[in-house]
Structure 1
Amino acid sequence: MTDEQKKKLEQKLWDIANTLRGKMDADEFRDYILGFIFYKYLSERMHAYATRILDNDKIDFTDIDETSAEGAAVLDAVKDASVEALGYFLKPSELFSAVAKRGEEGAFILGDLATILSNIERSTMGTASEEDFDHLFEDLDLTSTKLGRTEEAKNALISRVLTHLDAIDFRLDDAKADVLGDAYEYLIGQFASGAGKKAGEFYTPQQVSTILARIVTTGKTRLKSVYDPTCGSGSLLLRVAREVSDVGDFFGQEMNRTTYNLARMNMILHGVHYRNFDLKQEDTLEHPQHEGMQFEAIVANPPFSAKWSARPLFLQDDRFAKYGKLAPSSKADYAFVTHMLAHLDENGAMAVVLPHGALFRGGAEGVIREYIIREKNWLDAVIGLPANIFYGTGIPTCIMVFKKCRETDDVLFIDASSCFEKGKNENRLRDEDVDRIVTAYRTRNEEAKFSHRASVAEIAGNDYNLNIPRYVDTFEAEAEIDLAAVAQELDQVEKDMAPIDAQIRAFCAELGLESPV
């Protein structure tokens, strides 16, 4: 599929999404359209798998009589194989295309649709994939009055959306083309654009994700594992996978239930097998779900300066104990950092987006920051990003990069605050900006007014304050004024004005007035 065809597909999906937009907010209609796309994906994948395993028996999956004993026996065999291979099962009558066709013909499908979505989850019960499908469709509320005042109106709207989606070929048979995954990412980004502050709960701008992903994969072609403690929609984890040939396993945790569901769908839509991702829904700081595990790559865009309990009991927690101080309850930034460091493998790399305050705030944060630099030498780089590039907030942000086994004892500072294209609502990092930042990180070259390698002694001299202007001087001196040239210009102005001045004096003399010149 060409880029132009992809863009047309994305626009078509967005147009379909907008058939619901007038009824509800962006973050609400997101759950419907993405849920239906996911259902279509599961159906097409189920159909393709069943066709493949029934090929030798010359049986067409969609022609199986579900009411006959023979048909039921075949479906039982297909179900066992499908749940093992795909993690779920759908009967022929439950496939997306079958339901869409019934809706297009005027049948009432809302009841069937609700049952089918529930059946998908039930088909996984007692199996290895149960946790990955548990309550996956709970945000797709087909009874909501926002879909229509009457059952008929709701049914008509949903039928129209399913019919439009059914006409789209997502080319799942092309193993090299992640068409549906790309389209899904596009829609998530579009919804984030219209969701204001809520967007930060589930989406990191693609350009920022790319920087984080390229940083933690520097020098590597494969990863054993990647982890995101605040994984949102899972887009950041999947972006890391694009930068290497293979990722063994994906791990993540997300507190928001709706966003957690979105992340699981996103994983499956991108072809990540249910056995290769482990996403949990809980508060990462208060109730970590991957205790004792370490990961080769860690990426995160935690909520900026979020509140947390900072209970004294946490001073006994291995994630925080060595620092002697807890991040303040009003700002959890360093609680996330130290949590991530506890999970970072010895040969791993970690990149996290933080507000600029994390670079220079004192108190407990200053103590933790100093320990990381002075005692451990884990801080690898600090990258200043442009302001207003995240949805829902205009505050300036930075990327802090950490490694436990570093080959250098200096810290690279990059000031990329001016590397952006101004947008209508948010600023945007361009591809050339991303490349410049990543190249500077990988080469560790110094460039005037852009990058600088600071020794630990230099940082210590600044009391472990990492404020970027202390290390990268971006001050532009004003051009020296040529006084002689200015005097010459003034002389010329006087010469040009002389005839006019003479006319004014003559006119005033005629009237008996005092001349102003």
Structure 2
Amino acid sequence: MAVLHQKLFSAADNLRSKMDASEYKNYLLGLIFYKYLSDQLLGKVVEVADESPEEFDTQEKQAELYKGLLADEDIRGDLVETLIDTLGYDIEPQYLFNELTAQAKQNIFQLNDLNKAFIDLSFKYVQFNGLFDDVDLKSKKLGSDDQQRNITITEVLKKLNDIDVVGHSGDVIGDAYEYLISQFASEAGKKAGEFYTPHEVSVMMARIAAIGQEDKKLFSVYDPTMGSGSLMLNIRNFINHPESMKYHGQELNTTTFNLAKMNLILHGVNDEDMRLRNGDTLNKDWPTDEPYTFDSVTMNPPYSAKWSPDDTFLDDSRFNRYGKLAPKSKADFAFLLHGLYHLKDSGTMAIVLPHGVLFRGAAEGVIRKKLLEDGSIDAVIGMPANLFFGTSIPTTVIILKKNRTTRDVLFIDASKEFIKGKNQNKLSQENIDKVVETYKKRENVEKYAHVASFEEIKENDFNLNIPRYVDTFEEEEPVDMVAIGASVQEIRKEKEKLESSLYEMISSMQFDEKNAEWMKGALEVFNRGK
């Protein structure tokens, strides 16, 4: 990961002075994604040709092999067909990332060739439509004219070329995105928490959402505010048949929607296994056709966002059983109810929200009471402050289920257990394990967890503020007044010694008539003090 970060930092140097982080991350991530597609294709060519990876160990050799095979009319058709069947796309040799980089190294690269590469891929294959729209190669921010823009992208290509995106372990787009935000996020960081859930939080939520469902042969996940898609992707690490997993997601921001689609493709998710939509989750329900309920729902919606419900929303199937709508100024419960509506009876939902949802009254109090009466709220987990990009507020992860046989709620206060970071706090593996194990055991843990009965919650007027249920107060040790008194006496004696010594020193000083008045005053002050 260090190499990835180093290369990104270096590539960003060519863009940082020209635009803010929210813009240049689009260029870097778009180019990394295209490089992944190109590099993956070359690796597949070596495999299809049944050649030795050791012999074809550089992209230059792989590209030459590809060109040679395509030049053979007897082989070309079958090769392209195989690439499309296995990868879902092909790329013309002149548009390969390493070919464009080779031109950049010789200073003969032309922006138009990269633009043609994007158009060719997007035009031929529907899954890539719009994915490169944010890599605006005509933007004047890259340079005032074509020559300057050419120079800028030339330098970026050369620096990104050495990143091993195919061999990178982990979430390439997520790792790259998180690094870019954390390092350069003066602008992008303002709302970054809305579309990237820190990896450790994502892992914790995924582990809980998968509990009891690990052996399902077919597993479906839904994220109505999917951001970069990392929450959905993490689920597959904790189930036993990830190859048959289906991904359903929606995202309002088009740039972020494209980011999520790139992320899923980078993780080898086939087009037929993902169903993604660029749209407003709250304004109109989706999906409304089969399947519309899912084994797991994971969400990190924008906190306390505004929304525009009218009275017709009270008839909406997502909200009509709760008596009230979430307030227009705070859509938190609207997001929660949307996700819960799309959860299977046997499924688990995990959502990140600000603490206000736990105790605010009015309409939110009515909705919360109904959820508790239905037994839908399974657990409330208090998270540390400053975990998310762009906001320092502490958050809560709420776990929801349907058809529970009990209405109790497990409260976990994990707010004090984290690794303090320079800009953002983080969860350690031990912090995550403790939350998950406590959730599984569902037992009281002093100063950490409490299983509250429905009656106990009712007595608290359905207020779920965590300190009402988990007492983390640490009593101070009794004060030894005798010891303090003795210490005060010692300090006074020491003070008297110092004053006496200072008095003697001033008294013995030689001084002229000009300073006589000042010395007299100083000695009088000392005498009064005694």
- TM above 0.5, yes or no, is yes
Q: Is the 8 Å Cα contact of residues 282 and 288 (structure 1) preserved in structure 2? A: no
Q: Corresponding residue for 1:208?
A: 201
Q: Structure 1's 497 and 102: CA in aligned 2 closer, same or farther, altered over 3 A?
A: closer
Q: Corresponding residue for 2:139?
A: 144
Q: Corresponding residue for 2:7?
A: 12
SS at 1:322 equivalent: coil
Q: Corresponding residue for 2:30?
A: 35
Q: Corresponding residue for 1:284?
A: 281
Q: Is the 8 Å Cα contact of residues 225 and 251 (structure 1) preserved in structure 2? A: yes
Distance 1:39 1:107 in 2: 20
SS at 2:415 equivalent: coil
Q: CA deviation at 1:491?
A: 4.4
Q: Corresponding residue for 1:165?
A: 160
SS at 2:447 equivalent: coil
Q: Corresponding residue for 1:186?
A: 175
Distance 2:140 2:354 in 1: 40
Q: Corresponding residue for 1:440?
A: 438
Distance 1:426 1:55 in 2: 47
- 391, 394, 398: which is aligned to 1:393? 391
SS at 1:226 equivalent: strand
Q: CA deviation at 1:414?
A: 1.1
Distance 2:209 2:524 in 1: 85
SS at 2:36 equivalent: helix
SS at 1:147 equivalent: coil
Q: Structure 1's 44 and 439: CA in aligned 2 closer, same or farther, altered over 3 A?
A: same
Deviations 1:38-79 (A, max 9, x none): 1111112223334444559xx94222566xxx64x8545444
Q: Corresponding residue for 2:328?
A: 329
Q: Corresponding residue for 2:225?
A: 230
Number of residue pairs aligned between Structure 1 and Structure 2: 491
Q: Structure 1's 17 and 502: CA in aligned 2 closer, same or farther, altered over 3 A?
A: closer
Gaps of 5+ in 1: 1-5, 125-129
Deviations 1:317-338 (A, max 9, x none): 1111111211111111111111
- 201, 215, 219: which is aligned to 2:212? 219
Q: CA deviation at 1:121?
A: 1.2
Q: CA deviation at 1:516?
A: 3.2
Deviations 1:490-517 (A, max 9, x none): 4445565676688899989xx8995533
- 376, 401, 404: which is aligned to 2:402? 404
Q: Structure 1's 106 and 11: CA in aligned 2 closer, same or farther, altered over 3 A?
A: closer
Q: Say if 2:91 is the partner of 1:90.
A: yes
Deviations 1:156-199 (A, max 9, x none): 222232233333444x4xxxx6x165343221101222122131
Q: Corresponding residue for 1:469?
A: 467
Distance 1:288 1:269 in 2: 28
- Residues 57-206 of structure 1 mapped to structure 2, 5 A cutoff: 60-64=65-69, 71=73, 75-124=76-125, 130=126, 132-170=127-165, 172=166, 179=168, 181-193=170-182, 194=185, 195-206=188-199
Gaps of 5+ in 2: 52-63, 508-519
Q: Corresponding residue for 1:344?
A: 343
Q: Is the 8 Å Cα contact of residues 89 and 123 (structure 1) preserved in structure 2? A: no
Q: Say if 2:234 is the partner of 1:245.
A: no
Q: CA deviation at 1:368?
A: 1.0
Q: Corresponding residue for 2:57?
A: none
Q: CA deviation at 1:432?
A: 2.4
Q: Is the 8 Å Cα contact of residues 505 and 515 (structure 1) preserved in structure 2? A: no
Q: Say if 2:57 is the partner of 1:44.
A: no
SS at 1:347 equivalent: strand
Distance 1:40 1:196 in 2: 26
Q: Is the 8 Å Cα contact of residues 83 and 123 (structure 1) preserved in structure 2? A: no
Q: Corresponding residue for 2:517?
A: none
Q: Structure 1's 149 and 515: CA in aligned 2 closer, same or farther, altered over 3 A?
A: closer
Q: Structure 1's 77 and 418: CA in aligned 2 closer, same or farther, altered over 3 A?
A: same
Distance 2:239 2:342 in 1: 21
Q: Is the 8 Å Cα contact of residues 201 and 259 (structure 1) preserved in structure 2? A: no
Residue type matched to 1:31 in 2?
N
Q: CA deviation at 1:257?
A: 0.3
Q: Corresponding residue for 1:296?
A: 295
Q: TM-score, normalised by structure 2?
A: 0.86
What do you get for the CA RMSD once the two structures are aligned? 2.6
Q: Is the 8 Å Cα contact of residues 14 and 187 (structure 1) preserved in structure 2? A: no
Q: Structure 1's 86 and 222: CA in aligned 2 closer, same or farther, altered over 3 A?
A: farther
Bigger CA drift: 495-504 or 392-401? Answer: 495-504
Residue type matched to 1:480 in 2?
P
SS at 2:205 equivalent: helix
Distance 2:221 2:144 in 1: 45
SS at 2:313 equivalent: helix
Q: Is the 8 Å Cα contact of residues 295 and 344 (structure 1) preserved in structure 2? A: yes
Q: CA deviation at 1:408?
A: 4.3
Larger Rg: 2
